[in-house]
Amino acid sequence: MRSGVVVVDVDSPGGEASLEVLERELGALPQTLQAATGGGGLHLVYEYPGEHLGNSVGRLPGFEPPLPRVDLRADGGSIVVAPSVHVSGRTYRWLNDRPPAPAPGWLREPPRPAPVPIPGGITGARGQHGLRPGSFAT
C-alpha cells in the first residue's frame, strides 16, 4: 500500500544551505506538512505526484545541481516520524498540521527514452546472426 506522500529530507548541518540554493533557483517551495527530525533536520511532506518517483541522495529529480544533505524519499523509501526518538535523544515532532501540498511540478523524474526497435526479425533456425533464439553473443 502506498503512503500517498513523498518527502524532501533536509539533513542538518548543511541541508539548509542546499535548500536555499534550490529555492533561489526555482522559487519558494510550497507550504506543506513539516516535521523536525531527531537529527536536527527537516521533513517536507508532499502529495505523491501519481507517477513513479524514486529515492535520491544529494539530488532531487527536476533539479540538476547536486544538493548535499537533501534527499528524496518516495517509492520504496521510508522516513522516521513523530514521536520516534533519534539516537541523539531528541524526538521527531510535527511542526504544523497542514495537509501535504501537491508536489512541486519540477519534482519529477525525467521521462525514460522510448524503446529502440530491433530491426528485422529472427529468420531461420539460428536467426539472422547465426545465434539460436534466446542466446547472446559476447
Neighbour-count burial for 20-52, b at 16+ CB within 10 Å, e otherwise: eebeeeeeebeebbbbbbbbebbbbbbbbbeee
- Mean pLDDT of the chain, nearest integer: 86
Percent of the chain, pLDDT > 90? Answer: 66
Which helix (H) or strand (E) element contains residue 19?
A: helix 15-26
Considering the entire predicted model, what is its pTM? 0.78
Residue 74 has pLDDT above 90, yes or no: yes
Contact 16, 74 (CB under 8 A): no
Name the pairing type of β-strands 70-73 and 5-10.
antiparallel
pLDDT band at 60 (very low <50, low <70, confident <90, very high): very high
At a CB cut-off of 8 Å and minimum separation 6, what does 130 contact? none
Q: Of 82, 71, 53, 66, which is closest to residue 10 (Cα–Cα)? A: 71
Residue type, 35: A
pLDDT per residue as tens digits for the range 3-44: 889 999 999 999 999 999 999 999 999 999 999 999 999 999
Q: Cis peptide leading into 13, omega within 30 of 0? A: yes
C-alpha cell at 65: 545541481
Q: By CB neighbour count within 10 A (0-12 exposed, 13-18 middle, 19+ buried), where does 65 fall? A: exposed
